[in-house]
Amino acid sequence: MAQQSQEVETTRHLWDTAFIDQGKTSEATRKQPKRNYRIVTPDVPVTGVTADTVIGVTLWRLRPTRPADTGERIIVHHGPESVAWVPERVSSTGKLSQGDRIRISIEAARTGYLYVVDQEQYADGSQGEPYLIFPTTRTRGGDGSVSAGRVIEIPAQDDSPPYFTMQRTRVDHVGELVSVLVSPTPIESLTITDKAQRLSAETLASWQKSWGNQTGRIEMVNGDGKPWTKQEKDAGADGTRSLKEDEPAPQTIYYRPGASSKVPVLVKVQLQYARPGSGGKARR
pLDDT tens figures, 199-218: 999 999 999 999 998 899 99
Omega cis (within 30) before 186: no
**Cis? peptide before 184, omega within 30° of 0:** no
* pLDDT (0 to 100) of residue 147: 93
**Sign of the alpha-carbon dihedral angle for 49, 34, 146, 140:** positive
Q: pTM (2 decimals)?
A: 0.89
pLDDT of residue 50: 95
Distance CA(68)–CA(71), nearest Å, equals: 9
pLDDT at 179 over 90: yes
Beta strands 74-78; 81-90: pairing state: antiparallel
Helix and strand numbers, DSSP H then E, in the chain: 4, 18
Mean of the per-residue pLDDT values of the chain = 87
The pLDDT tens digits of the residues spanning 209-254 come to 999 988 999 999 999 999 999 999 999 998 788 999 899 999 999 9
pLDDT, average across residues 107-125: 95
Q: What are the residue boundaries of the structural domains of the chain, listed by start?
A: 2-283
Encode burial over 78-113: b for 16+ CB neighbours within 10 A, e otherwise: eeeeeeebbbbbbbbebebeeebbbbbbbbbbbebb
Residue 280 has pLDDT above 80, yes or no: no
